[in-house]
Amino acid sequence: MLGSIYALVALGYTMVYGILGLINFAHGEVVMVGALVAITAIGVLGPATGLPGPLLLLVALGVSVLACMLLGALLERVAYRPLREAPRLTALITAIGMSIVIQNLAMLAWGRQYLSFPALLPNEPMILLGATVTGTQLIIVALTALAMVVLMGLVNRTRLGRAMRATAQSPALASLMGVNVDRIVVVTFLVGSALAALAGVMVAGYYGQAHYHMGFMLGLKAFTAAVLGGIGNIPGAMVGGLALGVIESLGAGYIGALTGGFLGSHYQDVFAFAVLVLVLVFRPSGLLGERVADRA
């Protein structure tokens, strides 16, 4: 469950990284904005239109996807494009700066408190193949799978996707072949942000709440997932996300028993980090990555 959300967010990191070679620190914050916009949209549209739950959710999702795409494009245009030729350190500093700016603007706009996400979907647990699942969980998994199939199709089957892959390999050569690199970069940010919005709505629905600080840890974990799968590699991000979700849940569940009660499940957040360090030590190119991470 969490795994599929990580996978969606990881896709955003991996796509931007694949094309620009830049870690977009602000990506986690885009997820957060997506969740908060959806909550506001539900709060405003729900009473105004009286739509039934699932339809309302769909509309809110649409609003949030649009808002995030706008934010992503803005981010690229304002913060990253002017620095594309700048030293790598400058771009990294800008990225972390933007992440802080977005987070604090969100805090000013939505406040410090946790906002609750209304339950719009049937949430009775049901038994499926021996496992207990809820409707929300099923929808999360189904939507993630759908999003990934669409994305794979986009990247591998369309002209746009071919241009994206060309740009990832060599922006200079791609532009010689008539690819508008600036446009491709914007499109990448748009697609990544749309997925982030989807993930944001899902994570808010999953936990039933959202707040301005949620993007940080989520972003960190999704990045770990991207590295685990092999950064810059789209199927890798999916595999990495799912694997990380499983590792984290199992780890948090069993750590108490493994350490004789010394460490408890509140160390859940530590797992992602441990995975990140271990992957970087033993297999920096990730599970599915073939490219060497040590590109100077």
Partner 1 sequence: MRDPRRLRLVGLALGLLALLLAPFLVDALLGRAWVRVLDLVLLYAMLALGLNIVVGYAGLLDLGFVAFFAVGAYLYALCASPHFGLHLPFWLLLPAAALLAAGVGVLLGAPTLRLRGDYLAIVTLGFGEIIRIFLNNLNAPVNLTNGPQGITMIRPIEIAGVSMARPVELAGLTVPSLHLYYYLFLGFAALALVVSSRLEDSRIGRAWIAIREDEVAARACGVNTRDLKLLAFALGASFGGVAGALYASFQGFVSPESFGLTESVMILCMVVLGGMGHVRGVVLGAALLVALPEALRYTGPLQRALLGSVYIEPSDLRLLLFGLALVLVARWRPAGLWPSPVRRRELAERHAPGGPESAQ
* Total residues found in the chain within this entry: 296
- Smallest distance, partner 1 to C-beta of residue 138, A: 31
- Smallest distance, partner 1 to C-beta of residue 175, A: 20
Directed axis angle between helix 88-110 and helix 27-49, to 10°?
A: 30
Amino acid (one-letter) located at 57: L
- Which CB sits closer to partner 1, 96 or 145? 96
- Smallest distance, partner 1 to C-beta of residue 107, A: 7
Contact 7, 287 (CB under 8 A): no
Binding site for partner 1 (CB under 8 A): 23, 79, 82-83, 86-94, 96-101, 103-105, 107-108, 216-217, 220, 223-224, 227, 261-262, 264, 266-267, 269-270, 272-273, 276-277, 280-281, 284, 293-296
Closest CA to 3 of 287, 248, 283: 248
Burial class (CB in 10 A: 0-12, 13-18, 19+), 130: exposed
- Which CB sits closer to partner 1, 117 or 212? 212
Burial class (CB in 10 A: 0-12, 13-18, 19+), 162: middle
Cα distance between residue 233 and residue 22, in whole Å: 14
Contact 41, 177 (CB under 8 A): no
Cα distance between residue 163 and residue 117, in whole Å: 39
- Which CB sits closer to partner 1, 141 or 293? 293
- Smallest distance, partner 1 to C-beta of residue 92, A: 5
- Smallest distance, partner 1 to C-beta of residue 49, A: 31
- Which CB sits closer to partner 1, 136 or 221? 221
Task: State the Cα torsion 234-143-199-186 to the nearest 10°.
Answer: 50
- Which CB sits closer to partner 1, 22 or 45? 22
- Which CB sits closer to partner 1, 70 or 96? 96
- Smallest distance, partner 1 to C-beta of residue 282, A: 9
Closest CA to 200 of 187, 190, 191, 210: 210
- Smallest distance, partner 1 to C-beta of residue 24, A: 11
Cα distance between residue 78 and residue 47, in whole Å: 36
- Which CB sits closer to partner 1, 134 or 268? 268
